[in-house]
Chain A
Amino acid sequence: KNEVEQSPQNLTAQEGEFITINCSYSVGISALHWLQQHPGGGIVSLFMLSSGKKKHGRLIATINIQEKHSSLHITASHPRDSAVYTCAVKGLTSNTGKLIFGQGTTLQVKP
């Protein structure tokens, strides 16, 4: 079993829909990233979280440290949101910047 699990693996939505992507992890962490990667593009960091909730535009990320779970929400989704969304964690026992990645969620938003 992977240390970081995401669901769903694939997601298709209609423009305007509210989208939730989930991330569960089994290790103690000091921080969690949500990352976005468009087809053929590089990785962009959307959020870095260690507690609570962060919001940027139509994107909201939450984390529950006790439950070892984080969610990424996209409100009023748009075709340009189509990308792979990945959560990655930095383990508590690691003294490097090593990130452990989930397998990614491929999102397609149809107009």
Chain B
Amino acid sequence: ETGVTQSPTHLIKTRGQQVTLRCSSQSGHNTVSWYQQALGQGPQFIFQYYREEENGRGNFPPRFSGLQFPNYSSELNVNALELDDSALYLCASSSTGVAGPSYNEQFFGPGTRLTVL
């Protein structure tokens, strides 16, 4: 069984640039959640993807967007990067039944460390 993987592991960008982070969900999981963890803080929910659609969003501006692909992998895109976007970005995968979104245990990837200069 393959765990949750994320790429890249580290990334350095400058203010105003755009970035794409990638996440491959654990085998058998169809739901991906993205979190932002600033230094010294707990993770904050960005959004969740299920059936290739956004299913819930936290308090993040529209320049944070995402995609989910038919193989359940996901991308997080951030446009017009700001210094405060520097953080560890975590994705977590889980399985959701045919009845619709419900809560099952989430398994976290190792994260992508984004630094915005």
Interface residues of A in 66-111 (CB under 8 A from B): 86, 88, 90, 94-104
A97 touches B41 (CB 8 A): no
Q: Which residue of B lies closest to A4 (CB)?
A: B42
How many chain-B residues does the 8 Å CB contact rule pick out?
27
How many chain-A residues does the 8 Å CB contact rule pick out?
24
A103 touches B42 (CB 8 A): yes
Interface residues of A in 26-84 (CB under 8 A from B): 30-31, 33, 35, 41-45, 48
Please count the residue pairs between chain A and chain B whose beta carbons lie under 8 angstroms apart in the complex: 67
B110 touches A41 (CB 8 A): yes
Q: Which residue of B lies closest to A50 (CB)?
A: B103
- Binding site of A, secondary structure by majority: helix, strand, loop or mixed? strand
Residues from chain A with Cβ under 8 Å of B94 in the complex: 97
Cα–Cα distance between A66 and B31 once the two chains are bound (Å): 30
Closest A-B pairs by Cβ, 9 of them: A96-B56, A101-B42, A42-B110, A43-B108, A98-B45, A48-B105, A96-B48, A90-B103, A97-B33
Apart from A97-B33, A99-B43, 12 more pairs, CB < 8 Å = A42-B90, A42-B110, A43-B90, A44-B108, A48-B105, A98-B58, A99-B33, A99-B92, A99-B106, A101-B42, A101-B44, A102-B42
